[in-house]
């Protein structure tokens, strides 16, 4: 009998993010284009003899109780079937915490996928995505993976053609940004929609990497850059590097990603920044959000 399952929980970037209004429930309506990337956490889910849910993670900023989305994902599935005997979740972090890359949401998606498989719950992917929407706005996409247009709070997904192994450079200056604070500081009277996500959608359909790089857009850069001009400076500097098609802050930050012409250019830019920021790595676009390995 299988006692454990190992799931890769892939990070995401936003190629486009516009906030189109605030909802009565306090959330915001978005128009965003997500893309999965190769950077991932490893989530190992095991059956354990003791009842309950146990979360292990060496990262000091990752909670091990119900504040953790992965814990809540396991608890949600357990409650939905009238209880599951012991579940142990071991999270090996590579994705920076509170970085705009959906690390916590990716872990929750991995647990939904893994617990469903390990315990033979037989929920459909659509049902798992509905569970995911109860946990957080990014969880449904992390289950979906690849590329998608997200509407509503980001949970209403339409599949888009995914980019194949496009090189990326990721930079994080070590600043943790509160998503709620970033949204709270948006001033709708001062913001005008800069670009249409249709441009990015068309470029994805054509596989036009340069076109995507030239049309990257994130409205949340406005409030975040006002609070943290060093992130704006990082984006400006990486944009001038050789081989960069375009750069953008992902989600609510503080990670800045650059779409690169080729892997060599990505490696050269990584060498330029590696001793100057707290997190610097190269990766590629991914066609999946979660995968068993």
**What range does the domain containing 192 cover?**
167-284
The pLDDT-based confidence of 74 (bands split at 50, 70, 90) is very high
Looking at the structure, tell me whether residues 143 and 275 fall in a common domain: no
CA distance 40 to 6: 12
The pLDDT score that the predictor gives to residue 25 is 80
pTM, to two decimals: 0.95
30 assigned to some structural domain: yes
Report the catalytic residues.
Answer: 12, 138
- Reply yes or no on whether the pLDDT at 192 is more than 80: no
- Reply yes or no on whether the pLDDT at 24 is more than 90: no
Looking at the structure, tell me whether residues 45 and 154 fall in a common domain: yes
Out of 110, 125, 160, pick the residue that ends a domain.
160
Out of 160, 183, 199, pick the residue that ends a domain.
160
- Alpha-carbon distance values, 203 to 24, 32, 65, 241 (Å): 34, 15, 42, 22
CA distance 255 to 13: 9
Looking at the structure, tell me whether residues 181 and 125 fall in a common domain: no
Looking at the structure, tell me whether residues 145 and 231 fall in a common domain: no
CA distance 4 to 118: 7
Looking at the structure, tell me whether residues 177 and 273 fall in a common domain: yes
Looking at the structure, tell me whether residues 204 and 119 fall in a common domain: no
Looking at the structure, tell me whether residues 36 and 79 fall in a common domain: yes
Looking at the structure, tell me whether residues 75 and 140 fall in a common domain: yes
Q: How many independent structural domains does the chain possess?
A: 2
The pLDDT score that the predictor gives to residue 2 is 81
Looking at the structure, tell me whether residues 242 and 277 fall in a common domain: yes
């Amino acid at each position: 009998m299988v006692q454990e399952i190992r799931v890769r929980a892939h990070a995401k970037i936003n190629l486009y993010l516009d906030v189109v209004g605030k909802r009565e429930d306090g959330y915001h309506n978005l128009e965003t284009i997500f893309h999965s990337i190769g950077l991932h956490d490893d989530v190992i889910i095991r059956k354990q003899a003791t009842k309950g849910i146990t979360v292990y993670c060496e990262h000091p900023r990752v909670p091990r109780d119900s504040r953790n989305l992965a814990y809540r994902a396991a608890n949600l599935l357990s409650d939905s079937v009238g209880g599951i005997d012991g579940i142990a979740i071991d999270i090996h972090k590579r994705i920076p915490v509170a970085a705009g890359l959906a690390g916590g949401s990716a872990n929750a998606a991995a647990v939904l996928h893994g617990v469903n498989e390990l315990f033979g719950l037989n929920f459909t992917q659509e049902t798992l995505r509905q569970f995911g929407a109860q946990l957080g706005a990014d969880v449904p996409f992390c289950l979906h993976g690849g590329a998608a247009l997200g509407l509503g709070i980001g949970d209403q997904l339409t599949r888009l053609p995914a980019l194949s192994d496009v090189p990326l450079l990721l930079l994080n200056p070590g600043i943790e940004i509160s998503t709620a604070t970033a949204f709270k500081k948006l001033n709708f009277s001062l913001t005008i929609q800069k670009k249409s996500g249709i441009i990015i959608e068309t470029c994805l359909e054509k596989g036009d990497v340069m076109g995507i790089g030239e049309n990257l857009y994130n409205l949340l850069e406005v409030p975040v850059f006002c609070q943290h001009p060093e992130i704006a400076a990082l984006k400006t500097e990486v944009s001038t590097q050789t081989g960069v098609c375009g750069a953008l802050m992902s989600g609510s930050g503080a990670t800045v990603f650059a779409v690169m012409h080729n892997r060599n250019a990505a490696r050269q830019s990584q060498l330029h920044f590696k001793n100057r920021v707290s997190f610097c790595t190269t990766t590629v676009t991914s066609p999946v959000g979660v995968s068993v390995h």
